[in-house]
């Protein structure tokens, strides 16, 4: 998708919109543990893996903007691409995501996350596998040196593309899942 096609809004401007008498819908496409750790007040959680744009758009009136946020913007951009593929151009990217919102000193709801954030899980898995395979390469067989090579290549790919295969895999693990219902976009969303 062309960068110019994605409409975006700054966290400060979105904060003003959310404080209005008729606040817009804000979708948070992060994982449940990330959402529970800190999220924008009024945001509705629908993890990217669970997002079904066609189902969401059944009650949506074209021309009414809704906003999509994630941690830094990459997953929200992917969600917006999915909405675009269903013919909806009303999704607006929140620039810099939740991290930019927090950095701007805007209000957040903080919970007690019982699960580590996905990127910390990735760091633990990659670090553990790297140490274990390096030890095995030194003591058992030099072929185990291929594992850290593959892990490093995966991290390089993730850094260059913004897509982390390990994070995608870990997000699908039972401890990172929620039983979310299909979300219907409407012009008067219920706010929590």
| pLDDT at residue 174 in the model | 82
Q: Which of 15, 56, 70, 88 is catalytic?
A: 70
Last residue of a domain, one of 114, 138, 159: 114
More confident call, 192 vs 170: 170
| pLDDT at residue 186 in the model | 55
Q: Is 88 a catalytic residue?
A: no
Mean pLDDT for the chain overall: 86
| pLDDT at residue 183 in the model | 54
Are residues 16 and 109 located together in one domain of the fold? yes
Residue 35 lies inside a defined structural domain of this protein = yes
- Long-range contacts at 158-167 (CB < 8 A, ≥ 24 apart): 162/74, 163/74, 164/119, 164/122, 166/122, 166/125, 166/126, 167/118, 167/119, 167/121, 167/122
Condensed to tens digits (0 to 9), the pLDDT of residues 150-189 reads 999 999 998 888 788 888 888 888 887 765 545 556 544 4
Confidence tier at 4 by pLDDT (50, 70, 90): very low
| pLDDT at residue 138 in the model | 95
Are residues 49 and 98 located together in one domain of the fold? yes
Are residues 82 and 136 located together in one domain of the fold? no
- Segment 145-151 shows an average pLDDT of 94
Are residues 84 and 130 located together in one domain of the fold? no
Are residues 38 and 89 located together in one domain of the fold? yes
Are residues 49 and 67 located together in one domain of the fold? yes
Residue 62 lies inside a defined structural domain of this protein = yes
- Segment 59-86 shows an average pLDDT of 90
Confidence tier at 136 by pLDDT (50, 70, 90): very high
Residue 180 lies inside a defined structural domain of this protein = no
In total, how many domains does the chain have? 2
Q: Which CATH number goes with the domain that contains 44?
A: 3.40.250.10
Q: Per-residue DSSP letters for the chain?
A: --GGG-EEE-HHHHHHHHTSSSPPPEEE-S-HHHHHHEE-TT-EE--GGG--HHHHGGGPPTT--EEEE-SSSHHHHHHHHHHHHTT---EEEETTHHHHHHHTT---EE---SS--HHHHHHHHHHHHHHHHHHHHHHT-GGGGHHHHHHHHHHHHHHHHS--HHHHHHHTSGGG---PPPP---SS----
Last residue of a domain, one of 62, 80, 114: 114
Q: Is the pLDDT of residue 1 over 50?
A: no
Whether 66 contacts 24, CB under 8 Å: yes
């Amino acid at each position: 998708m062309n960068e110019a096609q994605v409409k975006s809004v700054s966290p400060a401007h979105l904060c003003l919109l959310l404080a209005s008498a008729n606040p817009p819908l804000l979708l948070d496409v992060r994982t449940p543990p990330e959402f529970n750790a800190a999220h924008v007040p009024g945001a509705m959680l629908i993890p990217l893996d669970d997002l079904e744009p066609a189902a969401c758009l059944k009650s949506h009136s074209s021309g009414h903007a809704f906003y999509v946020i994630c941690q830094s913007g990459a997953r929200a951009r992917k969600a917006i691409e999915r909405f675009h593929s269903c013919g909806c151009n009303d999704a607006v990217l929140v620039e810099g995501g939740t991290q930019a919102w927090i950095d701007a000193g805007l209000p957040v709801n903080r919970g007690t996350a019982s699960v580590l954030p996905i990127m910390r899980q990735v760091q633990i898995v990659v670090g553990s596998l790297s140490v274990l395979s390096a030890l095995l390469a030194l003591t058992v067989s030099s072929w185990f040196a291929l594992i850290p090579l593959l892990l490093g290549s995966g991290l390089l790919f993730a850094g260059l593309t913004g897509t982390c295969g390990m994070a995608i895999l870990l997000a699908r693990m039972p401890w990172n899942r929620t039983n979310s219902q299909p979300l219907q976009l409407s012009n008067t969303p219920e706010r929590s």
